[in-house]
Amino acid sequence: MASLKEVRVRIQSVTSTQQITKAMKMVAAAKLRRAQENIIQMRPYAKKLSTILQNLSASLEGADFSNEYAVAREVNTVLIIAITSDRGLCGGFNSNVFKGVNTLIQEKYPEQAKRNQVTVLPIGRKAFDFFRKRELKNISEYSNIFSTPAYDEVKKVAEFAMEGFTNQSYDRVELVYNEFKNVATQIIRKEQLLPIIDSEPVVTEKIAHTIDFIFEPSKAEIVKDLIPESLKIKFYKAFLESAASEQGARMTAMDKATDNAGELLKELKLTYNRTRQAAITKEILEIVGGAEALAGK
């Protein structure tokens, strides 16, 4: 049985840890509110932009218009963008992304992986630390961008991927990240960023049947400008989803850690009381034994 001093030290240690986890939970809750507001505001904009682009693209079917971002080639080289956090203590948030990347490679690109033609672009220090120890090629240039979530900084990664696809450095670009559902639930997403695929049915606005729009300079020019912007917005949306998911995962993890610390404190205090009671009982027995010994003389 541990001594009273050892139990007291453990109680003090667990109490300090519980105070830290409580503080981290409160900080994560404050950051989650801001991150949640950002993603809620972004989702309608991204959806509307995608709808406009799909309707315009549908109206150009059969016309002499080529989209360089939708060219499907034989897949020889692959770029996988993995979005994680810079810090840990957020449950399975980061490990789920690692598992998602490994599953994606095993299911879709095993041959490319054998030929060492799969490149990972890690975003977040945790992804950088994980993938630099693996046999996969990785690009560390943008690994620290998670600390600066401004659109102007985030879009540089999308521009890098788009340029790599158009100059045929990569035949396919995949995106792996956590999608925010609620505080307790984050869904791992594996999306093909390039070449562009129609993931949603084309929805033609009813107003388009009654109003004859004038497009300036032309539909083709508008679509040509919208496609790169739409890809950047799609990537930025994934970034915001991941940011909100991180805070939700950290808040949940710290809440569970605080509860676990409370349960451990109960057990330690019970152990302390039992140890203290045993020590007192032992001292009483020693006193009684000594008194009886003196009385016998």
The CATH code of the domain that includes 27 is 3.40.1380.10
Residue 295: predicted pLDDT: 76
Report the C-alpha gap between 217 and 203 in whole angstroms: 23
| 273 — pLDDT class (breaks 50, 70, 90) | confident
262 falls within a domain = no
Report the C-alpha gap between 177 and 19 in whole angstroms: 31
Q: What is the separation of C-alpha 79 from the centre of its chain, rounded to a whole number of angstroms?
A: 18
| 20 — pLDDT class (breaks 50, 70, 90) | very high
Residue 190: predicted pLDDT: 92
Residue 70: predicted pLDDT: 80
Task: Look at residue 208 and tell me whether its pLDDT is greater than 60.
Answer: no
Beta bridge partners of 173: 79, 194
pTM above 0.85, yes or no: no
Task: Look at residue 158 and tell me whether its pLDDT is greater than 50.
Answer: yes
287 falls within a domain = no
Q: What would the mean pLDDT of 120-129 be, rounded to a whole number? A: 90
Share of the chain above pLDDT 70, in %: 88
292 falls within a domain = no
Task: Look at residue 205 and tell me whether its pLDDT is greater than 80.
Answer: no
Q: Show the tokens assigned to 56.
A: 């315009």
Q: What is the separation of C-alpha 189 from the centre of its chain, rounded to a whole number of angstroms?
A: 10
For residue 97, the surrounding DSSP H or E stretch is helix 93-108
Residue 16: predicted pLDDT: 92
Domain count for the chain, please give it: 1
109 falls within a domain = yes
Q: Is 106 helix (H, G, I), strand (E, B) or coil?
A: helix
Task: Look at residue 220 and tell me whether its pLDDT is greater than 80.
Answer: no
Q: What share of the chain is helix, strand, coil (3-state, %, to 5)?
A: 65, 10, 25
Residue 49: predicted pLDDT: 81
Residue 1: predicted pLDDT: 57
Q: Show the tokens assigned to 276.
A: 């203290």
4 falls within a domain = no
The amino acid occupying position 115 is R
Task: Look at residue 59 and tell me whether its pLDDT is greater than 50.
Answer: yes
Report the C-alpha gap between 86 and 246 in whole angstroms: 10
According to DSSP, residue 145 is labeled G
261 falls within a domain = no
Residue 133's domain spans which residues?
23-254
6 is catalytic: no
Would you call 248 exposed, middle or buried from its count of C-beta atoms within 10 A (0-12, 13-18, 19+)? buried
Q: Report strand pairing: 137-138 vs 118-123.
A: parallel
Q: Which of 78, 80, 90, 158 is catalytic?
A: 90
260 falls within a domain = no
Residue 213: predicted pLDDT: 58
60 falls within a domain = yes
pLDDT in tens, 231-255: 889 889 999 999 889 999 999 999 9
